[in-house]
Amino acid sequence: MTHAHVTGPTTPLTLSLVVPVFNEVESIDLFIARISEVFRSETQVAVDIVFINDGSTDGTLELLLERQQHDPRLTILDLSRNFGKEAALTAGLQYAAGQVVVPIDVDLQDPPEVILQMIALWREGFEVVLGHRVSRDSDSWAKQVSANGFYRLHNRIAEQKLPENVGDFRLMDRCVVQALQSLPESRRFMKGLFAWVGFRTTYVDYVRP
Ligand code: UDP
Ligand code: MG
């Protein structure tokens, strides 16, 4: 697939954030406030947020619907039950209309400021900008050991290597989202599919709080 950038640094840009939420009633207002703050002075970036309610039972949907009344940036998808983050992300990507799309966790472990750096690299012509965690210190010892083991094993046996310490937090150009949507897989391992589709890729380092 080919792609040519027709925008320059001062051209307005539409950005869709894709945010799966499962019982996150405590996090949603903080998340929206932080996004507003980060993009307040970015007059060239129009942000919208696609929330995917992944079968929450704690009032997450009701809160989102209430916030949407006063916030035209919000789109809400409501899944019929809890399908898990991967499926929720896949559903959300179909509704992400922006020129660039960023999946992000609602708990702010993926710092939204990093998206500004990602956009700068996209403006230089990259189609995928990965968020690369420089330290797993905030994860438990068990998670660090199991994640390291998983990547080592996967990359020994798989033809398409997974970049390490990279999660779903990344910027994707529209053309990349379209390529992902053309894949027939229904039970998706998103990190694997992201790696498989390729494209002009770079990364930004960040520390998880
Ligand atoms: N999430 C979801 N469905 C699930 C589990 C999690 O949509 O079944 C959402 C969750 O609300 C959050 C994101 O996926 O916005 C990441 O979840 P979590 O922070 O628990 O994952 P981790 O940080 O351990 O990767
Ligand atoms: Mg988290």
Dump pLDDT digits (tens) for 17-39: 999 999 999 999 999 999 999 99
Kindly report the backbone phi and psi dihedral angles of residue 185, in degrees, each rounded to the nearest multiple of 5, phi listed first.
-55, 135
Average pLDDT over residues 165-180: 91
| pLDDT mean across residues, the chain | 87
Tokens 């697939």 belong to which residue?
1
Calpha distance 192→209 (Å, rounded): 25
Atom 11 of ligand 1, nearest CA residue? 21
> What confidence score (pLDDT) does residue 76 get?
98
Establish whether residue 100 lines the binding site of ligand 1, counting it when its CB lies within 6 angstroms of any ligand atom: no
pLDDT of residue 144: 72
At residue 64, the pLDDT reads 98
Question: Is the pLDDT assigned to residue 118 strictly greater than 90?
Answer: yes
Distance from Cα 2 to the centre of ligand 2, integer Å: 34
Query: For the chain, what percentages of helix, strand and coil (3-state, to nearest 5) are there?
Result: 35, 20, 40
Among 28, 88, 31, CA closest to 61: 28
Indicate the pLDDT class of residue 159, thresholds 50, 70 and 90: low
Atom of ligand 1 nearest to the CA of 84: 8
Main-chain phi, psi angles of 146, to 5 degrees: -70, -35
Each residue's pLDDT tens digit, 138-153 = 667 777 777 777 666 6
Residue 147 neighbours by CB under 8 Å, 6+ apart: 136, 139
So what's the pLDDT on residue 33?
98
Between the CA atoms of 35, 5, 172 and 163, what dihedral angle is there, to the nearest 10 degrees? -120
Residue nearest ligand 1's atom 8 by CA: 84
Does residue 126 surpass a pLDDT of 60? Answer: yes
C-alpha of residue 188 to centroid of ligand 2, in Å = 19
Give me the pLDDT at residue 5, please. Answer: 56
pLDDT tens digits, residue range 51-103?
999 999 999 999 999 999 999 999 999 999 999 999 999 999 999 999 999 99
Kindly provide the b/e burial profile for residues 159-188, where b requires at least 16 CB atoms within 10 angstroms of the residue's own CB. Answer: eeebeebbbbbbbbbbbbbebbeeeeeeeb
Alpha helices in 23-84 (DSSP H): 28-39, 60-70
CA of 191 to the centre of ligand 1 (A): 15
Kindly state if the Cβ of 17 falls inside 6 Å of ligand 1.
no
169 lines ligand 1 (CB under 6 A): no
Q: What is the pLDDT of residue 185?
A: 65
> Has residue 14 got a pLDDT over 70?
yes
Q: What percentage of the chain exceeds 70 in pLDDT?
A: 79
